[in-house]
Amino acid sequence: MAILRLEGGTVLREGDAIAAQLSPLGITLKHWPVGVDPTLKAYLAQPALDDVAKEKVLSGLESYFTQLQTEGGYQTRDLIVLHPQLENLDTLLAKFSRPHTHDDDEVRYVIDGEGIFGFVYPDGRQLELTVEAEDYINVPAHTEHWFYLTSARRIKAVRYFSGTEGWVPHYTQTEIRLQPVAV
């Protein structure tokens, strides 16, 4: 389950309390079970996945994609797999560790591992949300945020897109005041 850390040190672990804090930003956070399919579980236990394995994982989670297509008009999805042995991991992460916005929603369904999204309230306060396996998050377009991995440095997440043109990061000048979480 997700963990929210507010500027000032308050930590929230209860779903309703977290939702109340994310609501002013329009962020949706849900719990989506991965299920018990042993084949899917076996893929999730692997640190890296080839394209065939990624497609099998996506197929095993097709019902969520169908739901998002119907409800939100999402057109495509992919599976991102980040792990410590990935050759260009630090380069990939550097693109998202600075405060930025997108012209489209950022929609992720974490199926393994964990990561941290940071957000900025309109009044400038900051907070960080640790997302873990079975957390679904929708960060609305134009919401200022950043992302980094926890110390485990691994995550598998389905990314959902309504298009590709709105997914370029627009960096802001906001300074991150929160110190990274030692997870």
Residues belonging to the binding site are 100, 102, 106, 145
Give 36-95 as a 3 state SS string: CCHHHHHHHHCCCCCHHHHHHHHHHCHHHHHHHHHHHCCCEEEEEEECCCCCCHHHHHHC
Residue positions in the annotated binding site for Ni(2+)? Answer: 100, 102, 106, 145
In the annotated binding site for Fe(2+), the residues are: 100, 102, 106, 145
Structure tokens at 83: 């792990």
